[in-house]
Amino acid sequence: MNLKVYSKEGKEIRTITLDDNVFGLPVNDDLIWYAINNELANKRQGNASTKGRAEVHGSNAKPYKQKGTGRARRGDKKSPILVGGGIIFGPKPRDFSYTMPKKAKRMALKSILSLKAQSDTLKIIEDFSIESGKTKDLASLLDNFDPGLRTVLILKDDDTKIKRAAANIPWVKYLSYNRLEAHELFYGRQVLMLETAAKSLNDFYGEKEIAQ
């Protein structure tokens, strides 16, 4: 698969050949759904907690005697059917995370990359860096593409200058090529990938590393 490479000014300058085993695969919707839900589940804190009848603060005494009042039988005020009482089957802290098979996760990410490439929402940009680390410099560069869209920047490595500049732009997320996130990648309205990151993805997710 051949894609155009854009300059920082948003102009086409050349083409790049991408591995069809990474960017030209049929889209597997089921795996994409599985990968996204796995990431969201792993991010859940799971610290919601409620108090049961035995944990609510209050007296254990009956408000009135069992018989002779003409009223319904009543236990203590911690009863779940009273306001301020315990919660029946309420949530307790738990771990929502689970492990997704490595090959399935890799295939899901390749499906998303293929989807973005086939839908023309993936653009390859010549390598750049924001030497000043200032948000306004990165924002002016992104204005040459589609500003305002939910954008994912895929970097070759941990470029701290670009990350610092992108931190204050709410519609921009950054990912390293070897630590992609299915959720961010899938919901990005446009994916801007550095040229060296694209070349690295050819090798990192190519069939040479792990035989499918």
Those residues with Cβ within 8 angstroms of residue 133's Cβ, 6 or more apart along the chain or in another chain: 160, 161, 164, 165
CA separation for the pair 116, 48 (Å, rounded): 36
Q: For position 209, what pLDDT does the model report?
A: 44
Q: For position 2, what pLDDT does the model report?
A: 87
Q: For position 136, what pLDDT does the model report?
A: 92
pLDDT along the chain (212 residues), means of 10: 88 89 92 96 95 93 93 92 93 95 94 93 90 90 88 87 90 92 94 92 69 37
pTM: 0.82
**Domains along the sequence of the chain with CATH:** 2-37+100-204 (3.40.1370.10)
CA separation for the pair 188, 153 (Å, rounded): 9
> Structure tokens of 135?
């948000």
CA separation for the pair 149, 146 (Å, rounded): 6
pLDDT per residue as tens digits for the range 70-103: 999 999 999 999 999 999 999 999 999 999 999 9
Q: For position 180, what pLDDT does the model report?
A: 93
Which residue bears the tokens 């470029």?
Answer: 159
DSSP string, 53-105: TTTS-S--S-SS-SSSSSSPP---TT-TTSTTS--TT---------PPPHHHH
- For residue 20, give the H/E element and its range: helix 20-23
Q: In this structure, how many other beta carbons lie within 10 angstroms of the beta carbon of residue 149?
A: 14
Q: For position 37, what pLDDT does the model report?
A: 97
